[in-house]
Structure formats: C-alpha cells, structure tokens
Copies of this chain bind each other. A is one copy, B any other.
C-alpha cells in the first residue's frame, strides 16, 4: 500500500519544543518519529536533563532516547536577543508551523498571551505537574494515586514505586494527541489556541477509567494488595524448572479452557469446581479460587523448562509470556531485534551503536520514517536560525 509513497505521514508539521525530562520530549519524539520537524530549543550547555541517567561513558542514554529524530538548537534565553529568537522560531509563518510544546515554566515573554500576539493562530500545548501549575512529577503523582500501595509483594509493609514513569509516558502521548487535535481545529477554523494538561490530571483521569475511583467511593472495603496476581481474574507468575519465570493468564473463558487443555489439568480443574462449587468460566470464580487453581498449575509449570512451557502453551493458545531482564530482552527476544522492522541498528554519536526503535505506529498510506538518533546538543543552531532568518 505504501509503494511509491515517500513522504512521512506528518511531513509539513513543525513543532518548537521547550522541554526537559520525559513528558514533553516524548511527545515531541513521537511526532518526530512520524516525520514532523521537531526543533528542541535548550539553553546554552543544555537543559536540566542533559546529563540524566542512565549514562554511557558520561553521556545520557536517556537524553539520546527521548530526543530521537529532532533538531537541536541552543539559545541563551536570559538575553533579550535570545528570547526574540525563540519567539521568532515559534511564531514563524508557514501552515504547519506556529506550534509549541512545552513542559517548562511559561510566563512573561514565552506565555501564550505574548507569543500569540506574534502569531494569532499559535497552538501552544503546555504540560504542568499539577493542574494549577504546582510542581509535581511522575513519582509524586504515582504516590498520590494509590498504586504504590497496590503494587508489590502481598504483606509488604511499604509502598512500592514504579520504575517505569508511566504517567510521563501517557502525558507525552496525550500531548502529541493535543497537538493534532488543535491543528485539526486550526485547519477547520483558522483559529489557534492554548491547550493545557497536567500529569496529575492524566493520572486521575486514568484512575477513573480503570474504575479505581468509583471503587474507592462506593466500596467500603479498600482494594487489597495482591502481589503479582492480576486483580479479579486468573493471572500470575510461575517458576520453571530452569530458574526462569513466566506470566500466565486466563482472562477469558476461552483462555481458561486452553489452559486446561494445554496442561491436561481440565479434569482436575473440573473436580475442583465441583468441590468448591465454582464455575471457572467466570473470572470472579477464577479469582476467588486462584490459590487452589495455582496449586494445581504451579507444579505442572515447575516441572518443565521455560522453552517447553512456551512450546506447549503456544500450541494451545494459552496466554503467557516469559519474564526477561532487559539484557535477556535484547539477547533472546526477536521482537527486540532487527527481525522486528520497527528496529534498526543505529550509530548514536558519542555513545555507540545500538538497537533503536522508530515509531510503533504503522501508517499504510505513508512511508515509515527510519529511526534517527538524537542530535548533538545545539547541532542545528546555525542551520535553523539561518533557515528562519533569525541570525543576529
């Protein structure tokens, strides 16, 4: 379908990014990976995230990952001339331009009110921590939402933080969505706008979508902490005889039947059902009797190696997947290799060569954008200022 199509799906769109850490940079990288011209503007020497861990040979792998495919411009915004240059980039004419994405403080010169004087159809997407502009980051939002008390080993007495900054990720993707929605509105009406979102609101809305807020309001009993069990159904981790672990689930009636067929435990499961008066085609019953079910399932898995478990489960369409360390992921999993067309081996200047992903979105009507490394800090300063006619 993409034959002969060479333009990436977002070619023609240009975003000026004033950002740090995860959410805004991820939003920008997401659009850059679809072909938008994303220009990240940093202070001379880089922003607060220029050295963020993980590092390799003193350079930030994190910065390299979150700024893939962008152009990098450094400008001293403490000077009036520098501020004029940034404003000039943001307000430059062009139908796909006039879009700014930021998670840095905006006030005065870089506020929507000021910048939209220069370009009335400006689109500005501003990410804050709290809705009122208060400081909050992924880790404080997560602490507030209750997930750390639900996550981790049953009986553990402390909260368990996530390592994946999930709220940053979701906020970044929503910020990218916000840009497309606002650009649609501008095409239809000619009108620009300020769009605001906060990490905290994204987290709160998600807690609502998952039913956690309704549950906390309506249910007198607080939700418990259930270790690695997936709440309300059958799903947990099991050990294999070769020291590996595997996640096994039966979310649907069909998956439950498959599990019995694959293991030959259907009879034992049926016997258990009649003994306890349960119907394991109902997820609630699988959940209530999960210990008894896992007492049958666990030993079957524990007698086998990971490869055998996967072979048998794969043949019967049992829903399962191995636990892997990140090292095992890149060493063993074909999904994390160039066998997956999303990935290329790429040289990252100053870091080395490693497996690098393009966009996970595959548009049938457009050419994919090959993965690109992050720019060196300031690499495109002269080029961009010249292009925009903003040399001093």
Contacts and interface: CB of A to CB of B under 8 A. Distances in A.
Interface in A199-218: 200-202, 204-218
Interface stretch (A75-83, A262-270, A354-362): A354-362
Interface in A114-165: 130-131, 135-137, 139-141, 143-153, 156, 158-165
B363 A215 contact: no
Given A53-B284, A160-B153, A181-B180, A340 B144 contact: no
B335 A158 contact: no
8 contacts: A68-B208, A143-B323, A145-B326, A161-B227, A176-B177, A180-B184, A194-B364, A204-B342
A39 interface: no
A330 B216 contact: yes
**Interface SS of chain A:** mixed
Chain A, interface size category, equals 35 or more
Q: Which one of A170, A195, A335, A366 has the greatest number of beta carbons of chain B within 10 Å?
A: A335
Contact of A230 (B62, B139, B209): B139
Interface stretch (A85-93, A289-297, A313-321, A380-388): A313-321
A324 B317 CA distance: 39
A191 B2 CA distance: 12
A160 B228 contact: yes
Nearest to A141: B321
Contact of A329 (B176, B216, B365): B216
